[in-house]
Amino acid sequence: MAQDRRRILVVGSADMELYMNTCRLPEQGESVLDDGGVAYTAGGMGLGAAVALARLGEHSVLCAKLGADIHGQKLYNYCKEKGVDTSFLKVDHDHPTGLSVIIREGEGEPREIIYPGANAHITTEALAEAFDCNPDGLLLSFDLPFNTVLSAAKIASAKGIPIFVDASPADKELELDKLPEVDAVILNEVQMVEYTGINPSGTDVSLRACLTLCKRIKCRCVVIKLGARGAFVYDGKRYYSIPAIRADKTVDESGAGCAFSSAFVSEYLYSGGDIKSAATYGCAAGALAVTRVGASSSAPSAEELQALFSR
């Protein structure tokens, strides 16, 4: 499993997340007094992935943009504390730090409102500067404007740097065919349905979904995160069903996706492109992440993963 330290560049969002629990949502014009609790936590897919990679012992470099406000300062300090290289975290004096508001009504599924703020204003110059770190790999997600993602991917492709795309949040209107060839596209079942119209509910259907996705994006492999059912991977010639690693107790699933993707990238680069080993490592990271509360704070360390595999 992954041990040697690599430099991995993450280009993505950094948000302050506001969690709100309420017995019920107010009607228009109504105020509701509630003691369900609120909490601010560090979030954003880019920040979450960067922290997860740092926890795995990688030299994790985050390229993102923060506002010149208290939220931006807190996120910057958080990244420093977690061992993320903040050399390419830029400050935007015209736009606030991104904010995600997650509202849970009673026992229902959470609702989320995202205000991108400074995340929507990463410049091409900032991207080019970030590649001065000479990364061994690039991890992207779709929580930034697609032109930003595309620019970063093109720079990496020109330099021969492996590219990994966590295809979230899903948007079927994205012009995926404009991306250069990437090493891996990582997505879950819901996102696969959004991109292909196919629900990967079984082996044959999962393969068909991967083949359909490969018509939209040039990639060496597709990885479907299946939660408690493990993962399905396709490398253009062969496919593999990777069994899930049992979680002791599911407490919070919010950080599992980033934990999986980051662990996959880490092991893929360490193993020289072994997608079965990488997906197994990702499943293990996801299994540990759901046993604790929080998004980026739930990412497991390399030592915890090694202990899990030794059991």
Question: Quick one: average pLDDT of 233-252?
Answer: 88
pLDDT tens for 52-78 read 999 999 999 999 999 999 999 999 999
247-252 LR contacts (CB < 8 Å, sep 24+)? 247/287, 247/288, 247/290, 247/291, 248/291, 249/291, 250/290, 250/291, 251/290, 251/291, 251/292, 251/293, 252/290, 252/292, 252/293, 252/294, 252/298
pLDDT at 115 over 60: yes
- If one counts every other C-beta atom within 10 angstroms of the C-beta of residue 147, the result is 11
- How far is Cα 291 from Cα 286, in angstroms, rounded to an integer? 9
* pLDDT tens-digit series, residues 194-211: 999 999 999 999 999 999
User: Over the chain, what is the mean pLDDT?
Assistant: 93
27-36 mean pLDDT = 88
Residue pLDDT, tens place only, 69-103: 999 999 999 999 999 999 999 999 999 999 999 89
**Distances from the Cα of 157 to the Cαs of 112, 152, 153, in angstroms?**
33, 9, 6
**Phi, then psi, of 45 in degrees rounded to 5:** -65, -35
Give the pLDDT confidence score for residue 161 in this predicted structure.
98
User: Model confidence at 1, in pLDDT bands (50, 70, 90)?
Assistant: low
Overall CATH class of domain 7-13+45-97+119-310: alpha beta
Alpha carbon 263 to chain centroid distance?
Answer: 10
**Mean pLDDT, to the nearest integer, of 247-266?**
85
Q: What percent of the chain has pLDDT over 70?
A: 98
Contact 10, 49 (CB under 8 A): yes
Give the pLDDT band of residue 245 (cuts 50, 70, 90): confident
pLDDT band at 107 (very low <50, low <70, confident <90, very high): confident
Q: Is the pLDDT of residue 4 over 70?
A: no
